[in-house]
Structure 1
Amino acid sequence: MLEPFIYPVSGVLKLWHILMRSVFGMDDSAAWLISIFGLVLTVRLLLIPLFWAQAKSARIGVAMRPEQAALKEEYATRTDRESVAEFERKSKDLRESYGYKVSAGCLPTLIQIPVFLGLYQVLLRMARPSTGLEVAPETRIGLLNADEIQAFLRSSVNGIPLPAYVAMPEEMLSQLGTTSADVRSFILPFLIGAVVFTTGNMIASITRNAKTMDWDSGAARAVNRFLILMTVLIPILLVTLALNGPLPVAIILYWFANNLWTLVQTLILYPLVYRKVPLHESFEEFSRERRAVALATDREKRMRKWDVRRRKAVGALKPWRIPEIRRDLNAEKAARQAAAAAAKAERKALSKERRAASSALQKERLAKRRAERAARKQAKSSSPQAEPTASGAPDPGRSAEG
């Protein structure tokens, strides 16, 4: 699946190695080390336009959120064809006024993810080939041949081989001419740097989310809570994998360079995006209102849970009241479920009516376009065609003049 991306990524790595060896005369070890950083630099530079488009699209989506929410609220219960057509037209006008395109936010992400995976896979396969430290002649990783892979496996930085890792068996480490302690001492500064940069990137994401949170979306709030949890867990996971897993020195160096680039890119490009697409005061007011509603809803849920716990505690102290408490709790739960089911059924009915009206409009527009194409085709076929004059026939205009 990743092969289409592994080929160009391996090609970039190969070009960097050729450049370092042939132009600058570096030895294999230095050439491969620079090539790793050069690969990250090249790929990330090429992805900057996609990152910019994605960040700008997301920012525009945030900026237009108050008007979009007001529009949805205005047409929430209107499902007739005229209202649906008017809602679609106003939504389109709103997107055009902001220059917003849905594809600008989706496509860059869909392209970047496999590119990053391809980049990681190339380095991982180079540093941990499936055939071991001795590479078979037919082995290839994208555009890299067996000799280049073998040269990469023999490369080292400050005496530490690029394919070595802390948890590697001692006999393999001895073949590479190093020890587990030496590998650990070498990677620790880069590992700590990678963890710091990763944590900084995640804190920056949480900060952005806190300022532009879609408080009406339960999924958005859940994602933000998940990011907060990951900010604690991912550094622990990275350190554990680096010290106890089969992660070569080359991958640690890649983590360091890639996360450093991401942090610098975030600190530079996001302020530029914010300056280009500023948020109006109406957004701040809208965000505060939606946040207050969301927090009030969460507070109500917590109070309900504590009330249930309190009454259960009363039942534990007064067992004779357990049937009464259980009956009251079941009645309240049934009432909440009935209200939620009624609200859900109403939303579902409105959505069904709206989809039906939208489908009818789409069919009407499609029929209209087909009729217009048929009319143009008929007009073209019925228009008189000028017959070409034979090359040997005399020109009537010239004959008259003669």
Structure 2
Amino acid sequence: MDWMDGLLFPIMAVVAWIMVQFHDLLSAAGLDPAGGAAWALSIVGLVIVIRILLIPLFFKQIKASRGMQLIQPEMQALQKKYKGRTDPASREAQSREMMELYRKHGTNPFASCLPLLLQSPIFFALFRVLYELPRLAEGTYPRADAIGPMTQELAAQAEQATIFGAPLAGTFMQANGVWQIQLVTVVLIIAMSATTFLTQRQLTMKNMPPAALEGPMAQQQKVLLYVLPLIFAFSGVNFPIGVLIYWTTTNLWSMGQQFYTIRRMPAPGSAAEAALKARKARKAASRGETPETVEGTTTAVIEERPRSGQRQQPKRKDRAKGRPQTGAGQASGTETNGSDDAGPTAGDDGTTPTGGR
């Protein structure tokens, strides 16, 4: 695997540098430099640094994954439109309309895989750093005397560091009957597989509308939801304990990051959006407000209530009689009085009415 070290050596040096910096910081804080806790937490620190750098890509991944799910109805209609048409012109037209659909909704099927692809070199670089610790500690590593700041002395220290009796570079397949290594690796493999499943389930099930959970792509997502944890479980027996710590910590970070994002910015029509509206309604009710839904959004209308201890002033009612008339009313009254003084008026037949006998 020396050819892989040749490709990954610059990344291995960066990974080793971050680990050594955190190790020095934790040692200065009082942890045993040769202890497993300092080196294990150095790997956790590596995860934190990498994931902070990937935060912008994470939001792009969430947006792309959400967009791919939301356009499934239109995608199915497009596939139905060109079903059975295998001529080159139809295929070209279908591809063109599909790309236009992606552009219209601002999504891309490859954008959701970008953070995972960028983490893969770091994952393999950490794998190689931990794998080469014994040879680096013995001074037989063929490429260099050190991997970045990871010198022979530090490599020997990291190789001998243990967690519950299991070295960080130990694997299940090379445990040689050491039950501590087997136990720690099994626990970490279960944790890695479980967090992988929960992370994917949180993203696909809770933050998608029901319509987006149907169709071929949704079925593929459901299959991957159960297949990926199994793949990691079977392949995890070959991973060093340090790599299992890295992957489990990465999954935990992803779960927390997704939980915050889904809670604050849920997909339209999803269960998470319904939960967000319910929380807003409860908060509005606790503040004495009345939640009202207007055009699909929850707003709060504040009811005006009298303050406690404030005396209510009676409203003034205008009297029907004796109310002074102004303006047009006075003019109308004057004209009426004037017409009464003018004497009797002629009837409809032109005769003058006479008093009753």
TM-score normalised by structure 2 residue count: 0.54
- CA-CA distance at 1:53 after TM superposition: 0.6
- SS of corresponding position for 2:54: helix
* 1:26 and 2:31 are equivalent in the alignment: yes
CA contact (8 A) 2:197 2:225 kept: no
Corresponding residue number in structure 2 for 1:45: 52
- CA-CA distance at 1:109 after TM superposition: 4.4
C-alpha distance in structure 2 between counterparts of 1:114 and 1:168, whole Å: 26
Corresponding residue number in structure 2 for 1:134: 138
CA shift in 2, pair 1:51/1:124, >3 Å: farther
CA shift in 2, pair 1:40/1:271, >3 Å: same
C-alpha distance in structure 1 between counterparts of 2:203 and 2:135, whole Å: 37
One-letter amino acid matched to 1:201? T
Structure 2 residue corresponding to 1:228, chosen from 218, 226, 229: 226
What CA deviation, in whole Å up to 9, does each residue of 1:63-118 have, x standing for no partner? 233345546766888x9x9xx99x95x87775555333566446444323333333
CA contact (8 A) 2:131 2:169 kept: no
CA shift in 2, pair 1:203/1:184, >3 Å: same
After superposing the two structures, state which structure 1 stretch, 10-19 or 98-107, moved more: 98-107
C-alpha distance in structure 2 between counterparts of 1:120 and 1:91, whole Å: 39
CA RMSD of aligned residues (A): 4.5
* 1:200 and 2:198 are equivalent in the alignment: yes
CA contact (8 A) 1:125 1:141 kept: no
Structure 1 residue corresponding to 2:9, chosen from 3, 21, 34: 3
CA contact (8 A) 1:136 1:146 kept: no
C-alpha distance in structure 2 between counterparts of 1:270 and 1:148, whole Å: 42
Structure 2 residue corresponding to 1:257, chosen from 220, 242, 249: 249
Q: Map residues 1-400 of structure 1 onto 2, 5 A cutoff.
A: 1-21=7-27, 23-28=28-33, 29=35, 30-70=37-77, 95=102, 97-100=104-107, 104-105=111-112, 107-126=114-133, 129-130=134-135, 134-136=138-140, 138-157=144-163, 160-165=166-171, 167-169=174-176, 180-184=178-182, 189-201=187-199, 203-204=201-202, 207=205, 212-213=212-213, 215-216=215-216, 221=219, 224-225=222-223, 227-231=225-229, 234-235=232-233, 238=236, 241=237, 247-272=239-264, 275=266, 277-279=267-269
One-letter amino acid matched to 1:16? F
Task: State the structure with more CA Rg.
Answer: 2
CA contact (8 A) 1:36 1:254 kept: yes
C-alpha distance in structure 2 between counterparts of 1:24 and 1:204, whole Å: 36
CA shift in 2, pair 1:279/1:47, >3 Å: same
**Runs of 5+ consecutive residues of structure 2 not aligned to the other structure:** 1-6, 271-357
- CA-CA distance at 1:9 after TM superposition: 2.1
- SS of corresponding position for 2:138: coil
After superposing the two structures, state which structure 1 stretch, 262-271 or 140-149, moved more: 262-271
- CA-CA distance at 1:207 after TM superposition: 4.0
> Relative contact order: is structure 1 or structure 2 higher (C-alpha 8 Å, sep ≥ 6)?
1
CA shift in 2, pair 1:140/1:270, >3 Å: farther
C-alpha distance in structure 2 between counterparts of 1:169 and 1:103, whole Å: 42
CA contact (8 A) 2:171 2:181 kept: yes
- SS of corresponding position for 1:100: coil
TM-score normalised by structure 1 residue count: 0.49
- CA-CA distance at 1:139 after TM superposition: 3.3
CA shift in 2, pair 1:25/1:117, >3 Å: same
C-alpha distance in structure 2 between counterparts of 1:93 and 1:237, whole Å: 39
CA shift in 2, pair 1:125/1:109, >3 Å: same
One-letter amino acid matched to 2:153? D
- CA-CA distance at 1:52 after TM superposition: 1.8
C-alpha distance in structure 2 between counterparts of 1:92 and 1:20, whole Å: 50
> What is the aligned length?
256
CA shift in 2, pair 1:73/1:101, >3 Å: same
Higher helix share: 1
CA shift in 2, pair 1:135/1:216, >3 Å: same
CA contact (8 A) 1:215 1:221 kept: yes
C-alpha distance in structure 2 between counterparts of 1:229 and 1:215, whole Å: 18
C-alpha distance in structure 2 between counterparts of 1:102 and 1:165, whole Å: 35
CA contact (8 A) 1:55 1:270 kept: no
